[in-house]
Amino acid sequence: MLKASCHCKATQFEVSVPPKDVNSCNCSSCSKRGALWAYYDEDQFRLTTAPDRVSTYQWGDYMMKLHYCAICGCATFNEGPAWKDGEIDFSVNRIGVNARLFDDFDLAAVPVRYTNGKDA
Residue 120 within a domain:
no
Report yes or no: 26 and 117 within 8 Å, Cβ to Cβ. Answer: yes
Q: Domain range spanning residue 93?
A: 2-115
Which H or E run contains 33?
A: helix 28-33
pLDDT for 41 equals 95
Of the listed ranges 27-36, 59-68, 83-92, the one predicted with least confidence: 83-92
Residue 108 within a domain:
yes
**Phi and psi of 7, rounded to 5°?**
-60, -45
Is 39 a residue whose pLDDT tops 90? yes
Residue 70 within a domain:
yes
**Who's near 50: CB < 8 A, 6+ residues apart?**
none
pLDDT for 28 equals 80
Cα separation of 118 and 59, whole Å? 15
How many domains in the chain? 1
Residue 50 within a domain:
yes
Per DSSP (E only), the strands in the chain are 2-5, 12-15, 22-25, 37-41, 45-47, 54-57, 65-69, 75-84, 87-98, 112-115
Residue 73 within a domain:
yes
Residue 88 within a domain:
yes
Please name every residue paired with 102 in a beta bridge, in sequence order, or none if there are none: 4
Can you give the CATH number for the domain in which 75 is found? 2.170.150.70
Is 120 a residue whose pLDDT tops 70? no
